[in-house]
Amino acid sequence: MIQQIIEQQFDEMVAIRRHLHMYPELSFQEVETPKYIANYHRKLGLDVREQVGGRGVVATLRGSKPGKTVAIRADFDALPIQEENDVAYKSKNDGVMHACGHDGHTAIALGIARALVQMQDELAGNVVFIHQFAEELAPGGAIAMIEDNCLHGVDVIFGTHLWAPMPLGDIQVRSGAIMAAADAVYIDIQGRGGHGAEPHETVDAVLTGSQFVTAAQSIVSRKVDPLKSAVYSIGHFEAINSFNVIADRVHLKGTVRTFDDDVRDLMEREIETTLKAVCDAAGATYTYTYNRGYPPVVNHEAETEFIASCAKQYGNVSVTPPMMIGEDFGYYMQHVPGTFFFTGARKPEADVVYPHHHARFEFDERAMIVAANVLLHATIEYLASSNGDA
């Protein structure tokens, strides 16, 4: 029955997804998207709260009988990317693109809402749809929405990410840490500039920065327990000067990914220790900022086993290795039990699979059926079993 209901919603889910894809909005700048979501839920007869935590939407469907409350979270922000796909629903907002699948996540949640309305008289309990803004940009929208009571009365929370590199029909779960903490590092190195022909009169900030980048690579290999994981990557190194000028200043930006709090603390500490040593040796000074971003996404064991059991009839369920990518879904599970899983969305006919956050990112829209089936099944099963009806 669940599969039939979702298949009946599929054409509308595709239409919703493509509409949102054409009109993407950046993190913390979402205006029309939350209005669209709120209006959709209101037409279904759900209780709707807007501007939750700033730009979020929370819609509540109440069953005919009292019971527990399931939350389903879907994010809806886009990325500052110029789309290169040649499709009828190509982004109409210059320089902005749904390059991560959040348009699909929103369509899935709205499709589930419409399906549940059809069986509202049979439900014992409530379903809360948490439509979150600003997942792509720290500090993200989850914290603010939680502070604005989006989890009030919620007993369990479920979420999924459409995953284009993974085959259509695959569903990957993991108990414990599934995604990493995502932190940002900002460094300025101040030297003493001068003429390129007189390096002995300078403190070369480019050379000092280069030595730091190289030296810092040994932190993970020599300071972190090899049975634990960490990544440190410099993604930005900038010195704006003429070809014959030795720079007096460089600016670096990078990211740190970890799963364990002790490793996270160590990375923050050891990066500065290495930076200080290199700068002291060169006669340079520095400023160092370590911004802690999203925590790791840590799934609860019972809820993960539950979602896996619900998913088996809709796809090929397997356990994923932990991923070093970040997501602010972890904040929700610091407050209520829950689990977050991946739904394969690779197009079987695709010659090249473009990664998330790429200008030619795309996913197979049939993956929305798989994700919606799993989430709808889990919602119904959870409410029924918690009321002794299963």
Per residue in 16-66, pLDDT tens? Answer: 999 999 999 999 999 999 999 999 999 999 999 999 999 999 999 999 999
Write phi, then psi, for 161 (nearest 5 degrees). Answer: -125, 120
Q: Which of 11-20, 23-32, 161-170, 381-390 has the lowest mean pLDDT?
A: 381-390
Residue 1 has which token pair?
Answer: 């029955």
DSSP H helices in 122-223: 142-147, 205-223
In the three-class reduction of DSSP (H, G, I as helix; E, B as strand; rest coil), residue 177 is classed as: strand
Which pLDDT tens digit goes with each residue over 295-325? 999 999 999 999 999 999 999 999 999 999 9
Per-residue pLDDT at 111: 98
User: Is residue 387 over pLDDT 80?
Assistant: no
Q: How far is CA 39 from CA 57, 256, 278, in A?
A: 10, 39, 57
> Does position 386 have pLDDT exceeding 80, yes or no?
no
Range(s) of the chain covered by CATH 3.40.630.10: 2-178+296-386
pLDDT band, very low/low/confident/very high, at 350 (cuts 50, 70, 90): confident
State CA 297 to chain mean position distance. 10
Architecture in CATH of 181-293: 2-Layer Sandwich (3.30)
Q: If you search the block for the tokens 């014992």, which residue do you land on?
A: 124
Around Cβ 237, how many Cβ atoms within 10 Å? 16
| Three-class DSSP category at 200 | helix
Query: Residues forming the annotated binding site?
Result: 100, 102, 136, 161, 357
Q: Label residue 225 exposed, middle or buried (CB < 10 Å: 0-12, 13-18, 19+).
A: exposed
Class of the 2-178+296-386 domain?
Answer: alpha beta
CB-count exposure of residue 29 (10 Å: 0-12, 13-18, 19+) = middle
Q: Using an 8 Å Cβ cutoff, are 250 and 237 in contact? A: yes
How high is the pLDDT of residue 390? 45
Report which DSSP code applies to 176. E
Dihedral angle sign, alpha carbons of residues 8, 13, 18, 19: positive
Q: What is the DSSP string of 358-380?
A: STT----TTHHHHHHHHHHHHHH
> What DSSP element (H or E) covers 302?
helix 301-311
Which of 113, 73, 121, 80 shows the shortest CA–CA distance to 99? 80
Domain with CATH 3.30.70.360 in the chain: 181-293
Give mean pLDDT, residues 80-102: 98
278 closest CA partner among 201, 191, 208, 206: 208
Task: Return the active site residues.
Answer: 77, 135
- In this model, does residue 123 exceed pLDDT 70? yes
Q: Do 36 and 109 contact (CB within 8 A), yes or no?
A: no
User: What's the number of CA atoms in the CB half-sphere (13 Å) around residue 23?
Assistant: 11
Q: For the residues 327-344, what does the mean pLDDT come to?
A: 98
Amino acid present at 215: A
Rounded to 5°, angle at Cα 329 from 323 and 335:
125
Residues in the chain: 390
The pLDDT assigned to 388 comes to 56
Give the N- to C-terminal CA distance of the chain in Å, as an integer.
Answer: 16
Binding residues for Mn(2+): 100, 102, 136, 161, 357
Q: Give 66's Cβ-side CA count (13 Å radius).
A: 1
Is the preceding peptide bond at 139 cis, omega within 30 degrees of 0?
A: yes
